[in-house]
Structure 1
Amino acid sequence: MKRYLVYGLAALLFAACSQEKKFHEPSADATSNELMISDSSSAAKIIKTADMRFRVKDVQQTKEKLGNLIKAEGGTLAEFSIHSDVYQSEKVRYSTDSLLELTSYRTEGSIVAKVPADKLDEFTNKVAGMAVFVDQQSMKFDDLSLSYLSNQLKNQNRIAAVGQLNKHANKKSNNVETALTLKDSYVDQKLENMRINDRVKYSDITLAFYQDNTVKKLVVGNDNLSDYRPSFFRRLGLNIQNGWVIFMEFLLILANLWMLILVAAVAFIAFKQYRKRNRKAAI
């Protein structure tokens, strides 16, 4: 009886161990299948970048032509801007109620685009054909092959490390956080390689263009209020009328002061009589 009991316990223990082993082993396989991403790109990772500065006849028209050219070459427009700098502005008399505004300004534009790397030379040649004069043109080559290979090798190490952690994991030693850290690092490196592949396929190019100084003529309203005053004869008539009004107002003021005027007149007469008596007494 005891022998059968021992055999039964041994069978249960073996079954439990087998279930635990099955629980962990598929986890390592699933992790490997999840992390392993095929990458057949083994060519040199050469990144091209270019920039140009040139003069054109019309900035707005050139911007539209460049947009169409970028689209035709299979590229994408990332950024563009147009701005004008005013160098001098002056207003001269044009008529009684209007002025002629003269403005001297310079317009500049810039475009940042992504162009297929294999068409970059052809694209820059077409852009140069639009220019009146090319101030500056350059192209830069960066080899990121070693960085790309480094990311690949590190990712292989991370895959192997995650598999080992899952294989030897047990209830007493939980390596979930370590495994997640390795997986996140793998994703970061993989995304970095994807960015490198994208920069290898599409080159960044910066285009700066400008046009000659332009003088803009515009008729605007006259904001000088002195020009809106009436003519000389009309103002003369108005001033005469205004003077007559002031004179009448002065008479009204004197009428209000009649008592003071009377007192002054009496005092003046009395003073004259006083002086006349003094002269007779002296004689």
Structure 2
Amino acid sequence: MKSASIFVAIAATLLVMSGCAGNNFENNAADSTSNVQTADVKLAPAANKEEDKLPERQFIRTSDMKFRVRDVTNATNQIEHIVRQNQGFVTYTNLKSTVENQQIIQKSLDSSLESIQYAVTNEITLRIPNAKLDSTLYAISSLVDFWDYRIIKADDVALQIKANQQAQSRALNSTQNIHQNIDRKKSNLNQANDAVSIAENQQEAADNAALNNISLKDQVTYSTVSLSIYQRTETRFWSIASPDAQNVKAGIGIRVWDSIKTGWYFAEDLFVGIIRLWFVILLIVACYLIYRKYFRKKVLAMWK
């Protein structure tokens, strides 16, 4: 009886200890679950906020303009001066004259008149700091005589830059992982070569993404302006020697006109020659007047 009572007491003690341990385990598990849920509740909004956060806007601004000016050469010089004042630079310029009509008209036996009708144009490409684009366009507008068109565009490339950064990061991580696995595959030459080829492709993708971002950031920093300027059509005249004057016989009208001009030139030369003898003419006139006043009557009397 005494041994039976001892056994019952030990069994009861073990049951009480098992119950307490179970309660403690359940409480600890519940607390752990509660902590995990609380952590999830706290971290999830932060993660969502980080994903939903948009990058700062970055605009590529471009302008395309065509207009008429009074003088293309002077306008080009002024535009280049405006660009230098705004810390920009000219990347392309093509100033040229296009002949629309050309004629050579013979005016005399040995000379002709050349007339050329032409138009002067210039195609210019400028790079301007983004912050100074508006002031540059305002200064260029003062040269405009007539607008054909004026286009200004702004493209936000912030998401594209972000995508390139993520693509570059993924490619670099993939390249690093592949290089770590190459050593394990050295025993299999084919697998090692394939891994190296994949690593090179991933590195090339990372480099391309980096170069794309460099190009985009350059376009964001410096805006591109394309100008097409022109002026009114002009006509110029030149007197030139007839190249085949000795072998060409002029028409009757030209020969008559040449004769009239030759006679007129002779009359001009004669008049100028007479003017050069003004002293002799004056002396003859003076002698005639003296003769008429003092000697004419005596001479007439002698003859009678």
User: TM class, shorter-chain normalised?
Assistant: 0.5 to 0.7
Aligned counterparts, 1:156-235, within 5 A: 156-169=169-182, 170=184, 171-172=186-187, 173-174=191-192, 175-223=195-243, 225=245, 228-229=248-249
Q: Which residue of 1 aligns with 2:150?
A: 137
2:110 maps to a residue whose letter is D
Distance 1:191 1:144 in 2: 15
2:155 maps to a residue whose letter is D
* Residues 96 and 141 of structure 1, relative CA distance in 2, 3 Å threshold: same
Unaligned runs of 5+ in 1: 1-41, 233-283
Unaligned runs of 5+ in 2: 1-54, 253-304
* Residues 231 and 191 of structure 1, relative CA distance in 2, 3 Å threshold: closer
Once the two structures are superposed, what CA deviation does each residue of 1:76-134 show, in whole Å capped at 9, x if it has no partner? Answer: 21111122232332333444311121222211111011111111111111111012222
CA contact (8 A) 2:128 2:224 kept: yes
1:87 maps to a residue whose letter is E
**TM-score normalised per structure 2:** 0.58
TM-superposed CA distance for 1:186, in Å, is 0.4
**2:119 alignment partner, one of 106, 109, 130:** 106
Distance 2:236 2:160 in 1: 54
TM-superposed CA distance for 1:135, in Å, is 2.1
Q: Which residue of 2 aligns with 1:65?
A: 78
Distance 1:189 1:231 in 2: 77
Once the two structures are superposed, what CA deviation does each residue of 1:163-206 show, in whole Å capped at 9, x if it has no partner? Answer: 22222332235222221211111001100000000000111111
Distance 1:85 1:188 in 2: 43
Q: Which residue of 2 aligns with 1:281?
A: none
TM-superposed CA distance for 1:227, in Å, is 7.2
CA contact (8 A) 2:109 2:245 kept: no
Distance 1:86 1:158 in 2: 56
CA contact (8 A) 1:96 1:227 kept: no
1:218 maps to a residue whose letter is W
| 3-state SS, counterpart of residue 88 of structure 1 | strand
1:198 maps to a residue whose letter is D
Aligned counterparts, 1:264-283, within 5 A: none
2:79 paired with 1:79: no
Distance 2:170 2:93 in 1: 43
| 3-state SS, counterpart of residue 212 of structure 1 | coil
2:141 paired with 1:121: no
* Residues 231 and 209 of structure 1, relative CA distance in 2, 3 Å threshold: closer
| 3-state SS, counterpart of residue 142 of structure 2 | helix
Structure with higher Rg: it is 2
| 3-state SS, counterpart of residue 130 of structure 1 | coil
Distance 1:105 1:184 in 2: 52
* Residues 231 and 195 of structure 1, relative CA distance in 2, 3 Å threshold: closer
| 3-state SS, counterpart of residue 157 of structure 1 | helix
* Residues 223 and 167 of structure 1, relative CA distance in 2, 3 Å threshold: same
CA contact (8 A) 2:109 2:250 kept: no
* Residues 111 and 121 of structure 1, relative CA distance in 2, 3 Å threshold: same
1:105 maps to a residue whose letter is Y
Distance 1:226 1:160 in 2: 86
2:167 maps to a residue whose letter is K
Distance 1:52 1:231 in 2: 53
* Residues 91 and 115 of structure 1, relative CA distance in 2, 3 Å threshold: same
Structure with the higher fraction of residues in helix conformation: 2
Identity across matched positions, percent = 23
CA contact (8 A) 1:128 1:134 kept: no
Distance 1:231 1:68 in 2: 55
2:86 paired with 1:52: no
CA contact (8 A) 1:102 1:218 kept: yes
**TM-score normalised per structure 1:** 0.62
Question: What is the aligned length?
Answer: 191
* Residues 168 and 133 of structure 1, relative CA distance in 2, 3 Å threshold: same
